[in-house]
Amino acid sequence: MSPHNETAEETRRVYSGKIVQLDVSRVTLPNGVVTELELVRHPGGSAVVALDAQGSVCLLRQYRHAVKGWLWELPAGKVDNAEPPRETARRELADEAGVSAREWHSLGQVVSSPGVFCEVIHLWLARDLTTVARAPEDDELLEVHWLPWEVAWSMAVDGKIRDGKTLAGLLRARPFFDGVGKDRLAAGQTITTVEES
């Protein structure tokens, strides 16, 4: 057996909801061990580091039932109907933050909790912003804040930001404030990530 492959011998769906499905699979891992794994299937999503002309970044203060409290997050949402991830980012930035962007740069992808969750989140840097009408969903309880980059970065470093996609997005956007990314923007390049083999 290849050291990089696993084989699924049996999969059964034990739950189907509006957003996620839960599968239980009996698999043979690359090392030959046979085990039963639970996997939450999710369509994936996009998150946006939106920067305005003054160098401020959009952060949402959003109530999340899962943590029974408020979190600081980037504008983000799930992929609908297998749409391109940038379309998800565009829609969520408008609906949640009330802005649209003329410049988009990919910041790569992150996986949120690969032990049980198959969600892939696409990260984007959005610039050259214009105001549009907000259209948050009825069950979204959030506040929109525009914070100076260094304030947002300090919140990430000191633990005030706990949301994983937001931490990853700010980390990936950091080179644009350290000089390296500014040169890439001027050249029309994007930040790229190394593909794992």
Q: pLDDT grade, residue 45 (50/70/90)?
A: very high
Residue 64 three-state SS: strand
Domains observed in the chain: 7-41 (no CATH), 45-186 (3.90.79.10)
Mean pLDDT calculated for residue range 82-99: 96
| Choice among 31-35, 51-55, 156-160, 177-181 with the minimum mean pLDDT | 177-181
Residue 4's pLDDT is 62
Predicted confidence at residue 67, as pLDDT, reads 96
What is the value of pTM for the model shown? 0.86
| Mean pLDDT value across the chain | 89
Closest CA to 101 of 75, 78, 126, 68: 126
Contacting residues for 74 by C-beta, under 8 A, at least 6 apart: 47, 48, 49, 50, 58, 59, 60, 163, 165, 166, 169, 170
Element at 37 (helix H, strand E): strand 34-41
Instruction: Tell me what pLDDT residue 140 has.
Output: 87
